């Protein structure tokens, strides 16, 4: 492997210091002058390193007086966006993406149900155990972005129970890429009732610790959404993956 560029070293050290200092999303980082002294690099290398982190969503840059770098969030969507460049260059297709998505979500559901902390399972699944009430509250004209975000929250909750942050983060990327494309291609709100019913069954299986059932239900759930999406993707299923 090639040696890290100075800007990449800066990016690595900034992330290390965010963790070491216990900073949270929204917290500000030191001023440029302070970081230049701390990391002993040129202004160009520092700014390039911060831009690398900004592009990946790990921090944001506030402009104007009182601005500066601010800690971002560890969002699988950002990892998914970057991953599409690798997938595209590798020649990976949307058909392969959907296949990988099914496998990834089934693994996460299985691990979630096997989480030995029943209280954690109950807390994560609580919003989805009311017979779909969490979904019925929204009006028919609910904003598409809000719909995608809220229903994606269910899969985030499952991933949080996986007890492995590498799996939790990396395996969610496929679903984030799919969700992004589905929202652009069609209106997934037509699947509202199907999604709510599937989530209720999955939540019950995970709460009860039934790993095999959770795996099977998740497979059925994702296959259902995938079939719907494939019909609308049509010939584009054989296209190379990209972030639209």
Give 76-102 pLDDT, tens digit per residue: 999 999 999 999 999 999 999 999 999
Whether residue 6 is predicted with pLDDT greater than 70 in this model: the reply is yes
Cβ-based neighbour number of residue 205 at 10 Å? 22
Q: Which residue has the higher pLDDT, 45 or 196?
A: 45
Most confident of 96-105, 127-136, 141-150: 96-105
- pLDDT value of residue 224: 86
Whether residue 138 is predicted with pLDDT greater than 60 in this model: the reply is no
Whether the Cβ atoms of residue 124 and residue 203 lie closer than 8 Å to each other: no
DSSP string over 91-106: T-BHHHHHHHHHHHHH
Structure tokens at 55: 């592009």
Whether residue 175 is predicted with pLDDT greater than 50 in this model: the reply is yes
% of the chain surpassing 90 pLDDT: 67
Q: Which residue's structure tokens are 């942050």?
A: 165
Mean pLDDT, residues 214-227 taken together: 91
Q: Which residue's structure tokens are 């296949």?
A: 99
Strand, helix or coil for residue 71: strand
**How many residues can be counted in the chain?**
244
- pLDDT value of residue 188: 60
pTM to 2 decimal places: 0.85
- pLDDT value of residue 100: 95
Mean pLDDT, residues 117-133 taken together: 86
4-13, 63-72, 74-83, 227-236: least confident range? 227-236
Q: C-alpha distances in angstroms, 118 versus 138, 157, 169?
A: 29, 14, 22
Q: What angle do CA 33, 82, 7 make, to 5 degrees?
A: 25
């Amino acid at each position: 492997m090639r040696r890290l560029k100075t800007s990449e070293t800066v990016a690595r050290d900034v992330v290390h210091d965010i963790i070491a200092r216990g900073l949270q999303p929204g917290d500000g980082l030191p001023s440029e002058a302070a970081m230049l002294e701390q990391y002993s690099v040129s202004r160009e290398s520092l700014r390039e390193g911060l831009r690398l982190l900004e592009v990946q969503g790990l921090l944001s840059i506030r402009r104007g007086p009182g601005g500066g770098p601010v800690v971002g969030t560890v969002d699988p969507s950002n990892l998914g966006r970057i991953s599409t460049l690798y997938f595209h260059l590798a020649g990976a297709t949307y058909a392969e993406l959907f296949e990988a998505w099914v496998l990834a979500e089934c693994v996460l559901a299985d691990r979630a149900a096997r989480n030995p902390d029943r209280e954690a399972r109950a807390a994560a699944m609580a919003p989805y155990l009311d017979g779909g009430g969490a979904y019925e509250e929204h009006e028919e004209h609910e904003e598409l972005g809000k719909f995608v975000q809220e229903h994606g929250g269910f899969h985030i909750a499952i991933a949080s129970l996986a007890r492995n942050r590498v799996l939790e983060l990396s395996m969610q990327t496929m679903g984030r890429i799919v969700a992004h494309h589905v929202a652009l291609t069609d209106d997934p709100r037509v699947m509202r009732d199907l999604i709510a019913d599937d989530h209720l069954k999955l939540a019950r299986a995970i709460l009860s610790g039934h790993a095999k059932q959770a795996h099977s239900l998740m497979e059925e759930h994702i296959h259902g959404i995938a079939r719907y999406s494939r019909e609308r993707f049509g010939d584009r299923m054989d296209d190379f993956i990209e972030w639209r």
